[in-house]
Structure 1
């Protein structure tokens, strides 16, 4: 074997392998992500998981699989309504369609919102919801709502960016 031919090709392959392994790591998050999920109240004949709310102590038995997850939320805001401040969560178009179909057939049942796996609020489905906006009062101080909204927005943005990278 001729070393003059083998050595340069080996060195070239080594450089290519090392460069292929170089990848920039994701920047560490400068905030604590906040994962929002909605669970649907189980029917009386269904088995479910009891989720107690932190202040009222109301326990709602829900299906263990969430119906709205962090990937379905595109925006969050603090909404001022007649009864006070609440969270407004806006859904993706696909989640809006799914939630509309679900809300039509589940009027009267409750939705429970969990933030990072802690139940914080519940609301009854009063009518079919076609606009993709969910308003929900949470059992947290109103002063915390702006921080919660900010964290939800940043988490949604990070999820959207990660999904765009995969495409």
Structure 2
């Protein structure tokens, strides 16, 4: 299994939405965030030509990021996965991953620090994070067997500017 972990792109500032009375979960991507993610998605597709499953946090900014990635991958269906929301359980994400085909390339779109903690756990088995993803960044983890904590191998970790450059 290959696990492509993608952090959502740049979103509206919290203070601005608070003034408008909206909750953090409703924060959309900015125009620049959408534009940058479209370029980054082109780079992602060059690095990972096919995605079999695309799951996202249900928060608006993650869903919009996943929708951009979906369009780049011939409109692959996007499914919302509650454990990818901030504070979600990495154990629940792992249980869901184990339900996928072992030959699949699975893309996960979510938030920091949760994605860094998930990636660190899959790579090293430790509960604390040793990597982080900037907004719009991604990493690819190769799992040789059924996903288990500490069994992953990091193929690459790229900041958003490098992904856009590949695109």
Q: TM-score, normalised by structure 1?
A: 0.30
Give the strand-richer structure, 1 or 2.
1
Q: Which has the larger radius of gyration?
A: 1
Q: TM-score, normalised by structure 2?
A: 0.30
Give the helix-richer structure, 1 or 2.
2
With a CA cutoff of 8 Å and minimum separation of 6, indicate the structure with the bigger relative contact order. 2
